[in-house]
Structure formats: C-alpha cells, structure tokens
Copies of this chain bind each other. A is one copy, B any other.
C-alpha cells in the first residue's frame, strides 16, 4: 500500500485559480500519455496486413485488446480500488452487459444518442449495451425490492461515441462504481463516497489531483435567479459542464445561440459559475439575498455545509474544492455532485485538441429519483455513488511503469525445470508434476530436446527466479541442480530434499 505521503499534493485551495499555466512537467506527462494511448490505438486497430484481409485483423473501432503487461497493471489498479470498496463494507454484484433499450432511454439526457443497440430480433425485446453501471444498479434495486445496499460493481460499459483513444475515450471501457442506496441521514453516505475516492486516488499515486464538489439544487437555484427557463436546466448543465474544456467565450456563444439565452442571462450565470473556493464560499453565498430566496439554494447550502463538516472529520478538506461550474452531464443527479481531476493532466489551451481533458478520472453524486423513476410502484430509494474511469488510470500507470526501473513480472512462474542433455523429457515431466503437486509455480519447455540456452533465456526474459537442471549425472546420483537465474549460482542437492530446498531458495530470492 502506498502511503498518502508519496503524493505531492501541492494544491492550495485558497490560491487555486482556474487558469492553468503551462509547465514543462505537465506537458511532458500529457505527451507521453497521449503517445501511449495512440500507440495502443495503432497497434490494435491497423496492423500492416494484406489489403483483402484488412477487415478481419482489427478490433472494432474504439475498442482495444489488453496485452499481458497491461493486464498486470489493470489487475493492480483493480485490486487497489476493490480493497478500498471492501474496506468500507461493500458487497459486489454483476449485471448483464445488455439491458432492455426501454430501460436506458431518457436516462442520460443529451448523451442518450450514444447508446449502443443490438440487432432487432422477432419476438424479442429491443436490447442495448449498458451505457453505465448506475442505471443497471437502479434497475437491480427496484427489481429486487431492495431498500438499502452498499455495493461496488466493476464492468465494461459502451458508448457509440467518436472514439478519441488519445484522450482515453473508448467505445468500450471499464467503470468502477461504488454506490450507497438507502434512506439515511443527510450527507453521511455522501461524505464516505468522497472519502473513498480520495483514499483510492492517494493509493494509486497518480500525481496531483483535486476533488471538485457542487450541488445540482444550487445550480438550479442559480439558473432560476438568472432567469433561465426551467425546461433547459439540464441541457444548460451540459454546457456548464464543458467549462473545464472550453473557454468561457465558447460556452457563452453556445448559451446564446444554441440554448437561446440573452447575453445578460449568460453573463449573470458566469458571475456565479466562475466562483470556487472552500467552505467559506458557502457563507459568502448565504449573503446573496436573491439566491437565498430560492428554497433549493438554502437546501443545497445546508447539504454542502454538512458535507464539508464531515469531510473535515474525515481529514480530507485539503483535497476538495467547492466549484460552482461543476455540473456533470448526466440527467439523473439530484443533489451533491463531485468529480476528481488530475491537475497535472488537465485542460491546457496551448495543447491541441487530442491532448486536453485527460484530467477528469472519476465522478459521482446523489441521484435520489432514479430508482423511483424506474420502479413500477414509484418506490423511492435515494442513492449516492462514485464512478471511477479506469482507462486513463491504466494509461498513467503504464507510463509510470515504463519510467520505473523495476521490471514488470507478468508470469507467476517461480521454478523452471530444464535439462542440458537429450532424451530427458519424461524426467522433466516427472519433476514438473512433483512440483505442481507440491504447490510450486512451475514450467518446462514443450520440446523433446530443448537447448539449455533457450531454457535459461526464457527464465531471464520472464524473471523466473530459479531453474532446476537435471542431467544423467544428477539422475544417477539421485540429485538435482538448483540454479539462481540472476546470480547464476548453482547448488546440487539430494532429490528427496527438493521441496524444502526450493522453499528455502525461493524465500532467499524474495528477500533480495
């Protein structure tokens, strides 16, 4: 476990300014990660193949294979994430990759067009690939009449997006979700979600980050105060949500030309959404008599005050920012919303389009009405949760692994059974079988008469610590030779001591 002291969190919430200055380290990281992501793309999408076979030898657009080295990194990331979810008492469930299309419709606002449908079949329900893990969770809660549940779910989700692999945007990608369903006292589960998110980001050691926090009800109150018609609240949220990636002027134009707002309304919105800070901003907003005349604003500020109070008890206020431009794209949020941003990888106007917006790696919030909307009896089960977008995390961990001197050991094999002489296949098989039955991670060459050099090179390539070498001399003397692959030391031991001697030599290697 990596302690939080290894994270260079230099974020000062007081001095925090929205404008991000170009600096060398950030640029270099962005470049490397972009290269990693796009090399992956080239590798998996278009290998140099004959023209006529070109349609076969590729993966679908926006998807990719994971190679063994990548799987090793992925497994480590998942293990870290799952350990935290479990530490906080979550169970896990799994749901089908496809859901009824009727379930998914009208849940994602403007993004609903990205739902990936399956081919229609006679007498069968229309099906689509799941867009996230949240709507399937709400369906699960409703269908099984559950009133309270804390669960995590790790699974692939699908979006028929224009894939931008260099930005970590795939059509098939993993989400790691943790949600708390149930009617509880305000902000207690919400605070735990933020706490877990921060624990995970600290453990993963991805570099500087902050967690932005806002409240949907506060946004709605602001929109009301600014004179925005209620029917465009959600689509306006999508515009606001882009303020991390587009300059204000672009967003302003969109508000005026696409959403039909007047310049005055747009500018008044800007006077609010550019605000950010810490808990003191809550007090400042409370002095805004126009805003505070809205019931929703009072409720939101009360929630946020409680949340910041609990986050202080959880010792994480230095990682969070109250940020009024955080809106989150999805329709279903109803309360507190949050988003984790890697500040070393965030929006930089000097980088081209393919390199921006790597920053957001997790988000979440409260969605109190989604189960009710789905449930045939309108049963209400309030929920709050976080969703971690791990593809970008994988890319960063790959980058760190390439930079590091420690070699990635992708094989578990600890002992290799080799021979220097011919006609000893069956003897190698016997030794292997003996070692398997005694629980050792063991391999041998699948050849009658492999060359010793090839066998040793395999051990070196895959970082296998020990090699057992058998020859006719050893067979006649009832011995075997144990070789340390790294140091090339060799030890001849009686064959009947094989298990204990191997155990001993392996523990020596592990201590190094």
CB of A374 within 8 A of CB of B56, answer yes
Q: A65-B95, A118-B119, A315-B433 are in contact. Are A50 and B88 (CB under 8 A)?
A: no
Taking the complex as formed, is A57 at the interface, i.e. its CB lies under 8 A from any CB of chain B? yes
Contact of A446 among B184, B411, B448 (CB under 8 A): B184
| Mask: chain A, 58-73; 1 = CB below 8 Å from B; 0 = not | 1111011111100100
Q: Considering only CB atoms, which chain B residue lies closest to A309 in the complex?
A: B426
A4 to chain B, nearest CB (A): 9
Q: Once the chains are docked, how many angstroms separate the CA of A443 from the CA of B150? A: 11
Taking the complex as formed, is A99 at the interface, i.e. its CB lies under 8 A from any CB of chain B? yes
CB of A143 within 8 A of CB of B47, answer yes
Contact of A94 among B56, B65, B92, B142 (CB under 8 A): B65
Taking the complex as formed, is A53 at the interface, i.e. its CB lies under 8 A from any CB of chain B? yes
Q: Once the chains are docked, how many angstroms separate the CA of A98 from the CA of B377? A: 36
Query: Hey, which chain B residues are within 8 Å of A86, CB to CB?
Result: 412, 441
A434 to chain B, nearest CB (A): 9
Query: Hey, which chain B residues are within 8 Å of A44, CB to CB?
Result: 143
Contact of A87 among B143, B185, B412 (CB under 8 A): B412
Q: Considering only CB atoms, which chain B residue lies closest to A54 in the complex?
A: B376
Q: Once the chains are docked, how many angstroms separate the CA of A195 from the CA of B98? A: 36
Taking the complex as formed, is A314 at the interface, i.e. its CB lies under 8 A from any CB of chain B? yes
CB of B442 within 8 A of CB of A188, answer no
CB of B94 within 8 A of CB of A446, answer no
CB of B185 within 8 A of CB of A121, answer no
Query: Hey, which chain B residues are within 8 Å of A433, CB to CB?
Result: 195, 313-315
Taking the complex as formed, is A124 at the interface, i.e. its CB lies under 8 A from any CB of chain B? yes
A177 to chain B, nearest CB (A): 14
A151 to chain B, nearest CB (A): 7
CB of A71 within 8 A of CB of B91, answer yes
CB of B50 within 8 A of CB of A377, answer yes
| Mask: chain A, 94-126; 1 = CB below 8 Å from B; 0 = not | 111111101100000000000011111100110
Q: A57-B376, A91-B71 are in contact. Are A65 and B140 (CB under 8 A)?
A: yes
Q: A47-B144, A87-B412, A100-B58 are in contact. Are A93 and B67 (CB under 8 A)?
A: yes
CB of A97 within 8 A of CB of B156, answer yes
Query: Hey, which chain B residues are within 8 Å of A94, CB to CB?
Result: 65-66, 71, 74
CB of A430 within 8 A of CB of B57, answer no
Q: Considering only CB atoms, which chain B residue lies closest to A46 in the complex?
A: B143
Taking the complex as formed, is A189 at the interface, i.e. its CB lies under 8 A from any CB of chain B? yes
Taking the complex as formed, is A180 at the interface, i.e. its CB lies under 8 A from any CB of chain B? yes
Taking the complex as formed, is A500 at the interface, i.e. its CB lies under 8 A from any CB of chain B? no
Query: Hey, which chain B residues are within 8 Å of A88, CB to CB?
Result: 436, 442-443
How many copies of this chain are found per oligomer? 2
The CB with the most chain B CB atoms within 10 A, among A47, A139, A182, A429, is that of: A429
Query: Hey, which chain B residues are within 8 Å of A160, CB to CB?
Result: 121
Query: Hey, which chain B residues are within 8 Å of A172, CB to CB?
Result: 96-98
Among residues 10 to 53 in chain A, which have CB atoms less than 8 Å away from a CB atom of chain B? Answer: 43-44, 47, 49-50, 52-53
Q: Once the chains are docked, how many angstroms separate the CA of A440 from the CA of B172? A: 35
A44 to chain B, nearest CB (A): 7
Taking the complex as formed, is A127 at the interface, i.e. its CB lies under 8 A from any CB of chain B? yes
Contact of A60 among B64, B127, B377 (CB under 8 A): B127
Contact of A142 among B57, B89, B129, B441 (CB under 8 A): B57
A74 to chain B, nearest CB (A): 8
CB of A60 within 8 A of CB of B99, answer yes
| Mask: chain A, 427-439; 1 = CB below 8 Å from B; 0 = not | 0011001001101
Taking the complex as formed, is A233 at the interface, i.e. its CB lies under 8 A from any CB of chain B? no
| Mask: chain A, 121-141; 1 = CB below 8 Å from B; 0 = not | 100110101000000000110
Q: A102-B55, A314-B433, A412-B87 are in contact. Are A60 and B96 (CB under 8 A)?
A: yes
Q: Once the chains are docked, how many angstroms separate the CA of A93 from the CA of B43? A: 15
Taking the complex as formed, is A425 at the interface, i.e. its CB lies under 8 A from any CB of chain B? yes
Contact of A376 among B43, B52, B64, B436 (CB under 8 A): B52
Q: Once the chains are docked, how many angstroms separate the CA of A60 from the CA of B195? A: 36
Q: Once the chains are docked, how many angstroms separate the CA of A440 from the CA of B83? A: 11
Q: Once the chains are docked, how many angstroms separate the CA of A2 from the CA of B314? A: 42
CB of A89 within 8 A of CB of B189, answer no
Q: Considering only CB atoms, which chain B residue lies closest to A84 in the complex?
A: B436
Q: Considering only CB atoms, which chain B residue lies closest to A447 in the complex?
A: B185
Taking the complex as formed, is A270 at the interface, i.e. its CB lies under 8 A from any CB of chain B? no
Taking the complex as formed, is A1 at the interface, i.e. its CB lies under 8 A from any CB of chain B? yes
Between-chain CB contacts (< 8 Å), 6 pairs: A47-B143, A50-B376, A56-B374, A71-B94, A121-B160, A185-B448
**Sample of 9 more A-B contacts, CB < 8 Å, known A56-B374, A59-B96:** A52-B376, A56-B102, A57-B142, A61-B125, A68-B91, A71-B91, A87-B442, A118-B129, A315-B437
